[in-house]
Chain A
Amino acid sequence: MKKILAILLALTMVVSLGAVAFADDVSELPREETLYFAGQQWGTVNTWNPIGTNQNNAMACTNQTFGSRTLMFETLYMYDFMTGNILPLLAGGDYTWSDDMTQLSFSLNPAAKWSDGTPVTAADVVRTWDISVEVGNSVGIGYGAYIDSVEADGDLGVVINAALNEAGQPINPLKVLDFLVGGFIAQAAWIDTVVERNGGDAIGILNDAADDVVWSGPYTKYFSDDQKVVLIRDDNYWGQDASLWGKLPVPKYIAHTIYADNPAGEIALKAGEVDVCQQFIGNIQNLWLEDDLPISTYYEEAPYGVCLTMPTAWYNMNLPVLAENTALRKAIALAVDYDTIIANAMTNQSPSFGEVPRSLMNPTAGEQALFDHDAVADLQWAGNDIDGANALLDEAGLVDTDGDGWREYNGEKISLNACCPNGWTDWQASMEVVAAAGDKIGVEITTLYPEWDIYQTVFTNPNQTEYAIYMWSPDSAAPSDPWGRVNQFMGKDFVGAENNWSGNWGQYVNEEADALIKQIPLTTDEAALIDLYTQLTEIYLTEVPSFSLMYRPSVFHAVNESVWTNFPAGDDGRGIPPADCTDGYGIAALYELELVG
């Protein structure tokens, strides 16, 4: 008996030693062949399913309109948010619209191959679209209203038929472009396998683990557990064909350690254990100015990155005091000290509203050119205008009648809360500044920081009256922006929608604005477009259904050049966007990395 026990014990030890040795194997990837990331993947990967949902797989399955992450699965085109260009990836050249913009056609790159060696064909694109609509994944739901069907034209030719309205016009050609850069394409044969093994059950297909998945991108899965995710380069990647990159990406491994929280990732970046960090790091300039670390950002001066979105405070129009008092909405927005928000919450990693006056546009040159700056100059405000805010409130009759220091409306003290999720420190700091502004104009504003799971159910509920002022970010950049963002600010379609993650979180209704918004997608004339956007900006700045608090990058891009260098930089003239070396056209950076020394 004792012998058996001893043998068992010895066996256990050997096995556990082996396990440790295996773990060591992965944790000690050759440093000079591995590019380490932070700030993308939180928690263990669920699935590797490009047509699924809830994959929690940041490195392989991230669909986003400003550029999907094409390390393992690829989109038809790549978006460059710096220029607005749409560049071919799986597609072999530019797309063309039919004259009435009802059909978009392009041809696939004949060199494009799946990992099993078979070519990427139009049938794959068609099958991917059909299954997406059938099972209702994010692509199917997101674009189903705008794309009627996708057809094959021969082996490589693809025709996308836009969905039409009653007048026979396409509903929104811009959204069709979003699909080109946002949706991953999966192999038709593999999709058939998945459908078959799940018996056609949509939920089964969406949650399929996809361990046997066929990919077309330059990397594939190598290792994944609750500690890290590692992708390995596919040396047979078709993109080394001269028609695309002409070479393979430089790092052999893409590794993402799963950190507990932002500070952990930040410490790893400082220690040189992370090469590319997609996290907000306050006062990032201190890392090189004071700590002398080889860390740099896209721009060497503030705001250090490219700001694409504007975290915004939304007014709850379900509350009569806010819905009925435009003056109150504007007064609060006037009184807020945005410079403090930008200096505190963003540590100046955002242009100020003095530098980029507020509108519906993000600070990129392309969007800023889309409205008449002079026409709205009188309506814009840079904040901290206490006198102006007080005057506005006095004029509107919102005065303190009972002498308690707070203004009343219909005999009741105006008391609002300002909310954002607990632990989102930069947003919390912003809400503190908004509350401080209320104090100065006699409007009681208290901050409230619910936990995320509570916050997300409340602010997406169209009938909620619990939060008065609350934060959320509109879209950042996409082929359909700034239209998409403007629609989120004032579009009527979102009003009343249950579980609303899509837009207009304040439930603001303005028929005039909505009519203008609906015209934009079909307007191609530049001057007419500028006129529409200018009118909308005027309405937005007059009615103030919400107000932006700062500008902010979609992805942060801080790199530690201890091991790798030649990351994209604002002054290098290469025109690679700071998209973490992975998103949209930003992936071009991976092909040009160099080792230090």
Chain B
Amino acid sequence: MKHTLRQVFHSSKFLVGFIIFLLILLTIWIYPFFNPGNPLEMIGVGTFARPGSYVSLYDALNTSTETLRLADADDKRLDKLLSDTDRISMLDWFDSAGVDVGDLDIEDTDTLLDLWFANYSSDLKPAGMTNAKRNYYKRLNNSLMQVRAADTLTITDVDEATGDPVTKGTVTKTDYVNIGQVANVKRLPLGTDNFGRDVLKELVSATGTSIIIGLIAGVVATLIGLTLGLLAGYVGGLADDIIMFITNIFTVIPSFVLLILISYSIGQEQRGASVVAIVIGFTSWTWTARSVRSQVISLRNRDHVNLSKLSGHSLVRIIATDILPYIASYVVMAFILQVSSGILSEAQLSLLGLGPKTTVTPTLGLMMNWAMLYSAHTNGSWWAYFPVILTITLISFSLNLMNTGLDQVFNPTLRD
């Protein structure tokens, strides 16, 4: 046993896969300590907040400031409010409104703005200008007003007694706060999803659920496959015929179709994560059964098995001590693949809206399902689905790598 384990861990492929999988498990275990709470809590009001750090504006205003004179601050501010395309668009507006601009240099911000404020009016509707374009100029005008805004912003409050505004303080362009000192800063490394949930937190929790679904599905499928394979292979005769008849029927029906039909007929109310996992397990045992059977057939006439038979050992004992150990490595490898395909099946099912019921536990498939329903793929909200795909890929990659590594160790023809 020790020798086998050493051999297994000498395989670089297995080791890499094992480490990746272990890291994923570690993250699932450790991350909630840093970011505790319900992963399905809707913290954001709105859909798809971008990844990044969110600083409470309210708290920032109440944080002590440092004055920093940065040479490029004004330029950056201006670039944000007035891009080069905006400048060209302003020229277009002058053109369509019939304003003679002479040889205006569009890089000359002051002159450009003077000319703009002297001529622009949101009521003006130059002929042939689309509504979309007019709205754009209105927004641009608002931006430009900010360029021209005073260097100091005044914060006012309303006096409760009189209803008059009371000046609470001012903010100047050179005021900076240290993020570390602001009372509320929320880091959302993967932004929020369509419900305003923290995607990273949800992803970690969902990965855990999906791995459990994979494990349950793997255990169920392997148990069924193993039991039927062992019985068919060892007992043979009529039992073999009957079991193989059933197995063949299940083999020819595409398992995913079966999966869809069963999930649909169970109904959403009953579809918890574990139910889905068991259903997946029930539809994916056939190949394990077939392979185990063929291996058992080749084992059953070996000398040591015959010896056990002659010694009058029971069927269960012969299978457990004389046959199982010889196919254990294969069963483990098959189990790993079942886990991997179980996770993928859940994702596929959920994408079709046939996965576990929502709101109770997050799963990787449900995250993708909601991202797709909210057109995350067309509106550029990559953070809602891409990390999920990456996680699924990583899990199956690591599991398959482990499987290949084991194969190289146990399969004599592949041994180096």
Interface of A with B (CB < 8 Å)? 263, 266-267, 282-283, 286, 288-290, 293-296, 300, 337, 339-340, 343-344, 347-348, 417, 422-423, 425, 428-429, 432-433, 435-436, 446-450, 559, 561, 565-567, 569, 572, 594, 596-597
Contact = CB atoms under 8 A, between A and B. Distances in A.
B269 A446 contact: yes
Given A282-B374, A343-B46, A429-B195, A450 B268 contact: yes
A283 B138 contact: no
A184 B40 CA distance: 50
B404 interface: no
Contact of A447 (B135, B194, B357, B380): B357
Contacts of B139: 289
Nearest to A562: B130
Contacts of B373: 423, 425, 428
B353 interface: yes
B378 A267 contact: yes
Contacts of A447: 357-359
B269 A448 contact: yes
A449 B268 contact: yes
Nearest to B353: A422
A446 B379 contact: no
B375 interface: yes
Contacts of B269: 417, 446, 448
Interface in B369-408: 373-375, 378-380
A344 B195 contact: yes
Q: Interface on chain B toward A: helix, strand, loop, or mixed SS?
A: loop
Interface string B112-128: 00000000000000001
Shortest beta-carbon contacts, A-B, top 9: A561-B130, A294-B132, A343-B46, A296-B132, A565-B130, A425-B373, A300-B135, A343-B45, A296-B131
Given A417-B269, A423-B353, A448-B268, A343 B196 contact: yes
Interface residues of B, number: 32
A294 B136 CA distance: 9
Interface in B130-147: 130-133, 135-136, 138-139
Contacts of A436: 40, 42, 359
Nearest to A450: B268
Nearest to A295: B132
A566 B353 CA distance: 41
Contact of B132 (A288, A339, A340, A348): A288
B47 interface: yes
A432 B379 contact: no
B95 to A, nearest CB: 13
A580 to B, nearest CB: 15
Contacts of A597: 128
A268 to B, nearest CB: 11
Chain A CB within 10 A, most for which of B42, B136, B379: B379
A350 to B, nearest CB: 13
Interface string B154-170: 00000000000000000
Given A340-B42, A447-B359, A450-B268, A569 B196 contact: no
Interface in B45-68: 45-48
A289 B379 CA distance: 12
Interface in B327-369: 353, 357-360
A561 B47 contact: no
B130 A296 contact: yes
Contacts of B375: 263, 266, 282
Chain A CB within 10 A, most for which of B132, B359, B374: B132
A567 B133 CA distance: 13
Nearest to B129: A565
Nearest to A449: B268
A435 B129 CA distance: 47
B359 A435 contact: yes
Contacts of B360: 446
A343 B49 CA distance: 12
A199 B46 CA distance: 58
Contacts of B379: 282-283, 286
Interface in B196-224: 196
Given A340-B45, A596-B128, 9 more contacts: A263-B378, A282-B374, A288-B136, A295-B132, A340-B196, A344-B194, A347-B46, A436-B42, A561-B130
A551 to B, nearest CB: 17
Contacts of A293: 132
A337 B47 CA distance: 15
A289 B142 CA distance: 14
A340 B374 CA distance: 15
Contacts of B380: 286, 290
Contacts of B128: 565, 594, 596-597
Contacts of A596: 128, 130
A426 to B, nearest CB: 9
10 contacts: A263-B375, A267-B378, A296-B130, A343-B47, A344-B42, A344-B46, A449-B353, A450-B268, A567-B131, A569-B131
Contacts of A572: 131
A446 B271 CA distance: 12
Nearest to B195: A344
Contacts of B133: 294, 561
A488 to B, nearest CB: 28
Interface in B174-204: 194-196
A62 B295 CA distance: 67
B358 A344 contact: no
A244 B46 CA distance: 46
A567 B134 CA distance: 13
B130 A294 contact: yes
A286 B46 CA distance: 13
A256 B4 CA distance: 67
B47 A282 contact: yes
Contacts of A565: 128-131
A296 B133 CA distance: 9
A425 B357 contact: no
Contacts of B196: 340, 343-344
Contact of A348 (B46, B194, B268, B378): B46
Nearest to B354: A422
Contacts of A429: 194-195
A433 B42 contact: yes
